[in-house]
Structure 1
Amino acid sequence: MLQRLQWLLSLQASPTYSRWPVTKESKSCFGSISRRKNKLGFILSSLEDKDTFIGSNFFPFLSKLHSGRRMSVFTQQLNPITGKLEWGIQPEDYDYKQEVARSAYADMLHDQERNDKYFEGLRRSIEELRRRGQEVHVLDIGTGTGLLSMMAVSCGADSVTACEAFHPMAECARKGLKANGFADKVHLVPKRSTEIEVGPGKDMERRANLLVAEVFDTELIGEGAIDTYRHARDVLLTEDALLVPSEGTVYAQVVSSKMLQRWNRIQPVTRVKPGTKEREVLVSVPVCVQQCPGAAAVHDLQLSQVPQEWFTPMSHPLPVLWFDWSGRKKDISCDEITRVKFETLASGDCDAVLMWWDLRMDQDGEVMLSCAPYWAHPNLVDKCWKGSSEDIPWRDHWMQAVYYLPQPRTVLQDTTLTLLSAHDEYSLWFNIQKDESECVCEERPVCECGIHIVNSRTRLGQLNDPRRIEIYVRVLERYIKSDSVCLALGDGCLMAIAAAKLGARHVYMTEGSDANRRVMQEFIMANDVQHKVSILSEDVSDTSVDQLVSPATVTFSEPFFSTSLLPWHSMYCWYLRNSCLHLLAPGAIRTPATVKIWGIPVQYRDLWKIRAPLSQCSGFKMDIFDKLIESACEEADERVEPQPLWEYPAKARGDPVCLLTLDLAATIPDSPLICADSVTLPSPGLVNGMALWADWHMTDQLEDILTTGPVQPVILDQYISWDVYSRQGVYLFREPVTVDKVQPYRLHYSVTFQPCDGTLMFDFQLKNQTISNVHSNS
């Protein structure tokens, strides 16, 4: 156990950590893992050697402190802004509440189509068992709130056993069953399904002849569905048992897309050659990076938000993997490879595979739950490409995904190719074969260059973003002279190499990890600047000015740090620069010079569902669950969380407001800064949240502002176009309001900057201007 956790911690130290394959049932041991948070909630209090874990990025070091009757949890976390490890005392159940807050339970329960089709699948299956003359004994694996169990009872099941290993949810299910009058009709077992014992007087009196389970994720099998169903078939179910869902099918569509490749394969840094219109390479990519097959880690996206102009379909959607969850028609294999031939629809590069899946909810395959993007969704098949994401159900717990091929394959239209689709127990991967005689790798791709390990998809996109590169190069061209000594603050900063290529005397870099150091050393060697670029020790404050050829005359940051989650977390460059003032020459140039925090009131079309109360779901009371989620979010989660808003449409309900401005060229202040004001909301409509971002002013020129927010002018009542290579901050109002001429509102805001720990505290309130009723959302 200890060795496994140490290994996971080493992965988590890498920002590209995707996910450890855990089942929904195992959350109490390993925690739920979310791409949005990129964190894990581990309970380490039972481990003997807790010191092993001190210093791991974003991992709590849990040590119980006795405080009267109640126990507390002492946690240690890395502050992404100051770069320091900090301690804090949390309630004893902090770790559990963090898991509840991070889970996707609320999002799933707001998915009405999912609920309806599970209900219909249960109804049809129970009717089929009745027609066979059988009693109906249901097993609900991973019951969560108990919703599916209550559906089964409502459809006439004779007995229902529900298991849930995550104890806070098991307790929630117990209370919810009682509130809905099902306490004596559902037998709740607080265990994993693999721990259930069958027999008289045990967890289950008899084997079940109907299994209902929701153990799926974006990859379909990533939560351990294969092992769950194999064990259930062998131990928990009768030989003729029915299953809801009964089958699952994975679909793949091969595409050509230079845009999607920006999240996968590093391109050379180029600039316009002075005095010409031609572009020249400024930073070359090492051969090992060019030839690297990349990482097989899923890149989950809301594909319905991907603009059509981003990619060219090279194939139609192809059914490539099929799972019979009963194992009767086809065994549930842990390892499988399929080959599907297709004719290319266009000439170009086969770069990536788009993936989604569907479920057959009944035994006849008449009730289907599809996760397809709008252009391939069965509900819109007649509309073809004329539909939109608004025409299909929204869900964030099951998205679509992009898998990048090990190497792009250039082909002509109408070429016959073979798509290889493979899976192990938890993951999928793909490859292209041009003909049967060609030998292609069938193994799961593994990054060989390191860059896919140390960088997240978001960061890879930033490194390839033409807008960012143009600003960085322009700023460096303005400041770099032949006698410049530069200090580059950040992780994986290719602009440090660009500075050397632009003629700087010497460039010193900071890197936060040994893995990043190795990757950057490859770039340094590939660009033949090893005599001009040096990587400093991890703690730059320990570096003596005598170690430099001379004090630095230019210090710059992109800014980016692998520990950053929210846009303003990269203010770490300010604190890092402040710790190495002894390395700077008098009057040294400092960029970025200023950061501005912006906010805008919005109407999130769908994202509000991740935190919205349910009250009821499919006719069943959910007040107990609402209280659990609300309490967990208040105690364990921040009010502002990072989200890639280009995937989550939001309409502007007001103008952008500059909430706070910080002078990064000045020293860090000693006392807190507070900015407060109010603005009238001019746009009628629903306001359910705020969107927040940071603008980095690299110089005093408007053209040198690097925004992490809107990339097009904001228009009231229209959807906002966001920077796709950043995550913005999301603040959801607990009580949304509808603004109109009769009910005008003002947005009151307050932002407090605490220099001691770099904390930004936001408070937003929507106040009715005509009546005294105040909707407080702080």
Structure 2
Amino acid sequence: MNVKYYQGIRAAVKRVKERGQPAIVLDIGTGTGLLSMMAVSAGADFCYAIEVFKPMADAAVKIVEKNGFSEKIKIINKHSTEVVVGPGGDMQCYANILVTELFDTELIGEGALPSYEHAHKNLVEENCEAVPHRATVYAQLVESRRMWSWNKLFPIHIQTDNAEKIIVAPSEMENCPGAPSVYDIQLNQMPWGDFTVLSNVLTMFSVDFSKQVNSSPTYHTVQLEPLVSGRAQVVLSWWDIDMDPDGKIKCSMAPYWVHSDPKNIQWRDHWMQCVYFLPNEEPVVQGESLYLTAHRDDYCVWYNLHKTRIARSKSNFHEERPVCECQAHLLWNRPRFGELNDPDRREHYTQALKKVLKADSVCLCISDGSLLPILAHCVGAEQVFTVENSAVSHRLMRKIFKANHLEDKISIIEKRPELLTSADLGGRKISILLGEPFFTTSLLPWHNLYFWYARTAVTEHLANNITVLPQAASLHMVVVEFKDLWRIRSPCGSCEGFDVHIMDDMIKHSLDFREAREAEPHPLWEYSSRCLSEPQRVLAFDFCKPVPQQPLSAKGSITLQRPGRSHGVVLWMEYQLTAEISISTGLIQTPEAQGECSWNPHYKQAVYFLNSTLEAKTQDSPQTVTYALEFNPKVGDISMEFRLII
């Protein structure tokens, strides 16, 4: 991407110079000043670099000065809409080259349109050069049960000893159009068999950044004929940008099945592809024309499918904007929907409940928006209580229970666990404590150990012979080589005509580049990886006992079994539901011979990045990774340190 930007900037500067004009650049959202330094290196006479975030602007000042560009680059620590042009203002004159990187996966989600609109009216010359010059948004209609499971709650089939029970979503949830927020993922990791293409790739709309941009709400409709009959559920979308007016310098986000060179796709993590959910699935028939409409406002895009072309009016535009009315899309994110719809996972919990439940069991469930209380009731618990901390989850679960005539069978308690009283439980002692565990505030895998703290808080309400499900948890780790994810912590490379030391210095000054000391959450099913070691359990947590007062620690080493580059250590939790049944939030099967990893798609795993410049392991020089981990019960977090020993 840096190469494309530099080529586009260099071409824009050349066009301005050929017209006999000085090249005055405006760089909106300069960040560390990279594009501004590219512009000056390409021959620009002066560059105004705008950055609203003060720490980043301060870093840009230091980087620009260190690399010798301070005389030709002015860092302006303001929002672009506050910048004044003229004598005594922030800019002495209007710019004739507009350079930005204001885009996200959805193209306009970072406010690109309002920024361009203001810049053209107030900061740049008419018909200025723009890098990028234009963007084009594409869409493709597909049917995909897997992706649709990220948006709707499917009927739940529970097999009991006597009959099969079916749990359904409330009609309000069935008919809810969902939320307008895009689900951005690495579609290049989506197997071809997980979706059916229903349409050709459709060009939805373009934006010319060299001309006046309008951020007012609008929409664009394209006619299509389904390639096959099916059920339209999802719109996949992406964009490309032309860095120059002729479209010779192009950058595309197209997924592998429509990419011009599928084997050589440039990997990106900031710009991926979009998954949009239609308000409801629609049957489509091969050859019968339909109309796909892309709506947008200044920050958001959403799609609708129609049998006839819709009339262009603002009233229609606002009426069709999706708003979640069922509250499920406010409480459950996309992976959580997928998790709740996972039949294999649900079967594990059902079988575990059948092993521990008795006819007189009194159950208490502690999780956010969990369906475990329904499973417990259907399997045969005498009485079921569930704790919901928030009013949103309380209302949602009440709707689900009511839709299945369970409102008198399952009692919802809207309290934090530590505030629970005997009266809330009708004076009963809890014989089975349940949890998935899942909590909406969790970021890293071990944050769901909040269940352990909740278990400790309700100790006085537990029977002496309490059964806890899950009965225990354990932290696991493995050393991995990433195909691409390691790049997010790697210094920038060089591009033709632009000194690599500029970008290396940028990293060092703005990010204080060093080995990480904390783990980061990443959905690893979206990132190809190989296990270089065997998975290893490093910490254990016994839920049958209260949280201990003293820290839990583990030290040791793990030997690398396969050749490769040790990019990082992945950590995840496994929950022991019963002695025989467990659930993994990380690896879901033993790594294959070459170490290829399969990760649970419903969770983010924790990644601790090692120094990415370490030499690759060979058979003659075996490597080990030493580790030191400590769970601090006072704060509920895990400190960690890893070192690669050659």
Of the three residues 219, 232, 237, the one matched with 1:337 is 219
* Contact 1:405–1:430 (8 Å) recurs in 2: yes
Give the secondary-structure state (helix, strand or coil) at the position aligned to 2:611. strand
From 198, 201, 207, the equivalent of 2:88 is 201
Structure 2 residue 372 is the aligned partner of structure 1 residue 495: yes
Q: 1:748 aligns with which of 626, 636, 646?
A: 626
SS in structure 2 opposite 1:661? strand
Q: Secondary structure at the match of 2:287?
A: coil
Deviations 1:564-607 (A, max 9, x none): 11122111111101111111122021110111111000111211
Deviations 1:485-525 (A, max 9, x none): 11111111111022123332211101121100000000111
Q: CA RMSD in A?
A: 2.0
2:338 counterpart of 1:465 = no
Counterpart AA for 2:7: E
Q: 2:195 aligns with which of 307, 311, 314?
A: 311
- Aligned residue in 2 for 1:520: 397
Aligned equivalent of 1:774: none
- The question of 1:699 aligning with 2:562 is answered no
- Aligned to 2:173, what secondary structure does the other structure show? helix
Q: 1:432 to 1:664 in 2, by over 3 A?
A: same
Amino acid at match of 2:47: V
Number of residues of Structure 1 aligned to a counterpart in Structure 2: 637
- Which of 40, 51, 57 in structure 2 is aligned with 1:170? 57
Are 2:102 and 2:111, in contact at CA under 8 Å, matched by a contact in 1?
A: yes
Contact 2:430 2:462 in 1 (8 A): yes
Instruction: Read off the aligned partner of 1:619 and give its amino acid letter.
Output: D
Tell me whether 1:479 sits opposite 2:356 in the alignment: yes
- 1:156 maps to a residue whose letter is G
2:244 to 340, 362, 384: 362
In structure 2, distance between residues paired with 1:727 and 1:638: 18
| Deviation, structure 1 residue 185 | 1.8
Q: Match for residue 457 of structure 2?
A: 579
The answer to whether the aligner puts 1:123 opposite 2:10 as a matched pair is: yes
Q: Which residue of 1 aligns with 2:605?
A: 728
SS of residue in 1 equivalent to 2:566: strand
Q: What corresponds to 2:430 in structure 1?
A: 552
1:394 to 267, 278, 284: 267
For residues 568 and 354 of structure 1, the distance between their equivalents in structure 2, rounded to whole angstroms, comes to 33
Contact 1:125 1:363 (C-alpha < 8 Å) held by counterparts:
no
For 1:627, which of 508, 515, 533 is the aligned residue? 508
Q: Which residue of 442, 445, 465 maps to 1:567? A: 445
Structure 2 distance, partners of 1:200, 1:543, is 67
Correspondence for 1:590: 468
Q: Any stretches of 5+ residues in structure 2 without a counterpart?
A: none
Gaps of 5+ in 1: 1-113, 381-386, 769-778
Conserved 8 A contact 2:32-2:510: no
Aligned partners of 2:513 and 2:441: how far apart in 1? 24
Aligned counterparts of 2:491 and 2:12: Cα–Cα separation in 1: 31
Shift of 1:282: 3.8
Write the distance in 1 (CA, Å) between the matches of 2:36 and 2:642: 40
**Counterparts of 2:310 and 2:41 in 1: how far apart (Å)?**
57
Kindly indicate whether the alpha-carbon contact (under 8 Å) linking 1:654 and 1:716 is maintained by their aligned counterparts in 2: no
Deviation at 1:615, TM superposition (A): 7.5
Quote the residue 1:509 is aligned against: 386
Kept in 2, the 8 Å contact 1:537–1:543? The answer is no
Q: Secondary structure at the match of 1:234?
A: helix
In the aligned structure 2, how far is the partner of 1:437 from the partner of 1:171?
50
CA distance in 1, matches of 2:162, 2:412: 33
Q: CA deviation at 1:437?
A: 7.9
Contact 1:176 1:622 in 2 (8 A): no
Q: Distance in 1 between matches of 2:115 and 2:366?
A: 47
Contact 1:688 1:737 in 2 (8 A): no
Describe the shift of the 1:154–1:631 C-alpha distance in structure 2 as closer, same or farther (beyond 3 A): closer
Query: For 2:32, which of 145, 149, 160 is the aligned residue?
Result: 145
1:180 aligned to 2:60?
Answer: no
State which of 245, 259, 267 in structure 1 corresponds to 2:146. 259
Deviation at 1:745, TM superposition (A): 1.2
TM-score (norm 2): 0.95
SS at 1:133's partner residue?
coil
Measured after TM superposition, the shift of residue 686 of structure 1 is 0.8
Q: Is the deviation greater in 440-449 or in 750-759?
A: 440-449
Structure 1 residues 473 and 438: alpha-carbon distance in aligned structure 2, compared to 1, 3 A threshold: farther
**1:159 to partner: Cα distance:** 2.0
Structure 1 residues 446 and 437 mapped into 2: Cα distance closer, same or farther (>3 Å)?
closer
Q: Relative to structure 1, is the Cα distance of residues 629 and 713 closer, same or farther in structure 2, using a 3 angstrom cutoff? A: farther
- What is the CA–CA distance in structure 2 between the aligned matches of 1:438 and 1:159, rounded to whole Å? 48
1:303 deviates by: 0.7
Post-superposition offset of 1:734: 2.5
Task: Tell me if structure 1 keeps the 8 A contact 2:507–2:513.
Answer: no
Instruction: Give, in angstroms, the shift of residue 443 of structure 1.
Output: 2.4
Q: Sort the Cα spacing of 1:627 and 1:155 in 2 relative to 1 into closer, same or farther, 3 A.
A: closer
For residues 460-506 of structure 1, what are the alpha-carbon distances to aligned partners after superposition, in whole Å with 9 as ceiling and x for unaligned?
A: 11111122111111112222233211111111111102212333221
Structure 2 counterpart SS, 1:739: coil
Q: Does 1:681 align with 2:565?
A: no
- CA gap of 1:322–1:615, structure 2 versus 1, over 3 A, is closer
Report how far residue 415 of structure 1 moved. Answer: 2.2
2-structure distance, mates of 1:171, 1:343: 53
Instruction: Tell me the CA shift for residue 139 of structure 1.
Output: 1.2
Question: Which letter maps to 1:366?
Answer: K
Give the match for residue 120 of structure 2. 233
- Check the 8 A contact 2:177/2:324 in 1, yes or no: yes
Aligned-partner Cα distance in 2 for 1:546–1:272: 33
Please say if residues 598 and 660 of structure 1, whose CA atoms lie closer than 8 Å, have aligned partners that are also in contact: yes
Deviation string, structure 1 residues 360-399 (Cα, Å, up to 9, x no partner): 111222211111112222x42xxxxxx35xx211111111
Q: 2:297 aligns with which of 412, 424, 431?
A: 424
Whole-Å separation in 2 of the counterparts to 1:263 and 1:194: 38
Distance 2:77 2:422 in 1: 61
Q: Distance in 1 between matches of 2:600 and 2:547?
A: 28
Tell me by how many angstroms 1:648 deviates. 1.2
Q: For the Cα contact (< 8 Å) 1:683–1:716, is it kept in 2?
A: no
Asked whether the equivalents of residues 548 and 633 of structure 2 are also in contact (C-alpha less than 8 Å), the reply is yes
Over 3 Å counting, the alpha-carbon distance change for 1:399 and 1:318 in structure 2 is same
Aligned partner of residue 240 in structure 2, secondary structure = strand
1:622 aligned counterpart, secondary structure? helix
For 1:602, the equivalent position in structure 2 comes to 480
CA distance in 2, matches of 1:762, 1:511: 32
Equivalent in the alignment of 1:299: 183
Work out whether residues 137 and 160 of structure 1, in 8 Å CA contact, stay in contact via their aligned partners in 2: yes
Question: C-alpha separation between the residues in 2 aligned to 1:691 and 1:543?
Answer: 36
Q: Separation in 1 of the partners of 2:514 and 2:439?
A: 26
Q: Which one is further off, 443-452 or 542-551?
A: 542-551
Matches within 5 A, 1:401-416: 401-416=274-289
Per-residue displacement from partner, 1:601-626 (whole Å, max 9, x unpaired)? Answer: 01112111222234766424234432
Distance 1:543 1:165 in 2: 46
8 A Cα contact 1:599 1:690, kept in partner: yes
Offset of 1:712 from its aligned partner?
A: 2.3
Distance in structure 2 (CA, Å) of the matches to 1:754 and 1:122: 51
